[in-house]
Chains A and B, each alone.
Chain A
Amino acid sequence: MKFGVIVFPGSNCDHDAYHVISKHVGQPVEFIWHKETDLSDFDAVIVPGGFSYGDYLRAGALAQFSPVMKAVKEFAAEGKFVFGICNGFQILCEAGLLPGALIRNKNLHFICKHVNLKVESNHTPYTSEIEQGQVLSIPIAHAEGNYVCDDETFHQLEENNQIIFRYCDESGEITDESNPNGARSNIAGICNQDRNVLGMMPHPERACEGLLGSNDGKNIFRSLTKAIAAHG
């Protein structure tokens, strides 16, 4: 089993992801420079957070043209696991691997805080070890996390059970007050139809150590590890 963490110019959560996979998940992991075109050594690829290409043009827009992204698309088409976190989620949307887009937060602020996330589905390789409806405490850190999509896409997401995480209050209620960025229907994370590609704005890699205030992210990586073992 091997994880890869893609590094674009401007990625800055790549080391956090690497640290969590190597130290807390205990699996082999390698950085993948964005000019790489062969991912055949890997079972799962993490597209990490940060500011790829300085967020020029739109967040994630220029990273979609990096050579590695063609390989990531093929990798995803083979049913292998692609996990986009924060800027990684933005990149996967820009690249068309996930539907919709992420625009400027409704209140314009860069928001950095712990939020409550409701696990809407555990029928994914990323949430299988978590109980449906469970509330996770995981931090967000973004200015463009406001998820938008047209009505048709939204209905497809709902019908196919592709909305995996929603912002909620402490008791798991989906409320306007608990929506930090104006995202449609409090959407914090979605998967593709085949459920092997997942993108989320919150940072589970920053919630794997009690010292950092939460361990709740660990179960996401634990689920993924189990899925890779079953897949391989």
Chain B
Amino acid sequence: MNPDVIQLYSLVGLRALAEYDAPEYRRVTDLSRNELEEKIRRLQASVSDEPLLSEIRARMSELELIQGESRSQTELAFLLKQLSNSCLQRAQQLALLQSRTMRSEGTSTQPQRTAVRDAERPKTSAPESEEFVKLAAMRLLRALPAYSAEFNVRLRNVEVDCLLRPADSRMPVIFIEAKVALRNEDVLRSAMNQLKKAAAGWGKGAFQVVLTTAVDRSLHLAGFEGRTGSPYLLVYDQEANEFIENTSEHLLAAAVRRVQDALP
């Protein structure tokens, strides 16, 4: 794939933007319209033997057609916006395809990988963990609308990954400690200790939850098997955005019961 084609698609999209939203166009680029058109012409010449050029030319013709045949300013803006977005989306699609191809061929896309990795760095030392904790917490909040979530909360010199706080103080606070995978008992024990320290003094006013995405089959889950009260073990499937084998059922039922008790 010639990267000029990708740029050309996005510039045609920009050309449409210049027509229907001048302030937004000025926000995103310093190029004048003439400079933009010149750039498009130059790129078109450089990709003259590319099979996708006819598709790009069709988009350019469409742009002219919309400008010539629209009956009102509203119609013009609407159609140009569609065209602009579709051109940019096509450019993004081709860029992603190219980046995948380059990665599989082993050629460099190093800046991209660095950026995506770095994007997560300043916030946490365990970005993957943070991602699934947030998603799981949001999934729980769907069933517990009277709660709000806080992440990486420090209490009594202990940091817990997530704290679900209720709007009403009569309802239980939910402490969540997350481990990407429970592969041995030490990991489980450290999560439990963390929760115990953080929730010390809360008594029945707190539920403790160990959250994970995978549990090793050989792991002896002392204290969890057949358990219906706190502490709870929740296994979250990030792709399905669901808790595996209804592991959240007991927690939600208990929390909802407390919410109902708290209501007048």
Task: Answer whether A and B are interacting partners.
Answer: no
Interface residues of A (CB under 8 A from B): none
